[in-house]
Chain A
Amino acid sequence: QVHLMESGGKVVQPGGSLRLSCEATGFIFSSKAMHWVRQAPGKGLEWVAAISYDGGNKNYGDFVKGRVTISRDNSKNTVHLQMNSLRTEDTAIYYCARVNYDDNGYPSFDYWGQGTRVTVSS
């Protein structure tokens, strides 16, 4: 059974740093790309970052470029999101999601974690 569990969210001051983690179970983690998506309070979904199955390719949303680094440890079935220079507008629930490709090559975010809450406040 596929399961994604985020951790690391907490209250942090503006300018601070935080490392989020997402532990995966129930599938061959090293074969799937992974993404982070966030949701500010009362707002919609916002894509944050992506990492390929082997960690060789990374992409970021424009609003976090230079402040965020995505990484993965396939030996520990875990993907991380290092966030620096945090701003109040980074306050959100951060979800990790798995990308699956069907037999015809269509991608989808088929499994999501329950999210970890990050609050940036002084």
Chain B
Amino acid sequence: EIVLTQSPGTLSLSPGERATLSCRASQSVTNDFLAWYQQKPGQAPRLLIYGVSIRATGIPDRFSGGGSGTDFTLTISRLEPEDFAVYYCQQYGGSPQCSFGQGTKLEIK
């Protein structure tokens, strides 16, 4: 079973700063099927990044993903006010077929 562990649990930063979020898998993620989602209160999750580093349609280039194997990162180069939200990583195609990390809350400092 692939378990995803995200860190930190909460990240406190100011607009304009750089954010780095981590996602570690208990075993290698199948075929780099690793995605990131953003969720704001009362809203459904929104796809940001898939295939480790491919930005989804309409996602600004301040969002970038990287990593391989078991260690992955989501980087937001310069935080905008609308970026403060909860972020989840997701693996797909392993065992179980799909799983999510527990989330990182990005809050305004």
User: Which chain A residues have a beta carbon within 8 Å of chain B's beta carbons?
Assistant: 35, 37, 44-47, 50, 59, 61-62, 95, 99, 102, 104-110, 112-115
Query: Nearest-CB distance from B82 to chain A (Å)?
Result: 18
Contact residues in A for B79 (Cβ distance below 8 Å): none
* Contact residues on B (Cβ < 8 Å of other chain), bracket: 20 to 34
When each residue 70-100 of chain B gets 1 if its CB lies under 8 Å from chain A and 0 otherwise, what string results?
0000000000000000101010110011111
User: Which chain B residues have a beta carbon within 8 Å of chain A's beta carbons?
Assistant: 1, 31-33, 35, 37, 39, 43-47, 50-51, 54, 56, 86, 88, 90, 92-93, 96-103
Dominant SS among interface residues on chain A? strand
Contact residues in B for A106 (Cβ distance below 8 Å): 32-33, 50-51, 54
The answer to whether A102 touches B96, judged by C-beta atoms less than 8 angstroms apart, is: no
The answer to whether B98 touches A110, judged by C-beta atoms less than 8 angstroms apart, is: no
The answer to whether A47 touches B47, judged by C-beta atoms less than 8 angstroms apart, is: no
The answer to whether A108 touches B47, judged by C-beta atoms less than 8 angstroms apart, is: yes
